[in-house]
Structure 1
């Protein structure tokens, strides 16, 4: 099965969390920290009902970059 292409528009960035909306995979950081403390895979790595197939090694680098770039990430380092 072919991998589904990942882009930044598929992510929701909250105060301390980044969510890959197609799979509901989540990376959560402690307040003010840039790195993920908790990872929840959601449906990442599984073929979704619509046939999309997202791979962690494609999704996670974007999620971690977005998590580190969020405004709250650099305030308490």
Structure 2
């Protein structure tokens, strides 16, 4: 059996592979390293005056698939 080329997999493919092969610790590590390299958007802070509004906007964007984090869900 040939070694698996994790780098050739998209984020989605790698996530799906790991979910189907949970004992493959190397796949998990590659996936975690990869997603930690992506910037994470800060939606709000707990002391923001418009906290609820920002959360509602973020939830709506997520429902519509209009977020930079969407690439992790595909």
Do they superpose with TM above 0.5?
A: no
> Structure 1-normalised TM-score?
0.37
Higher Rg of the two aligned structures: 2
Which structure dedicates a bigger proportion of its chain to strand? Answer: 1
Richer in helix (by share): 2
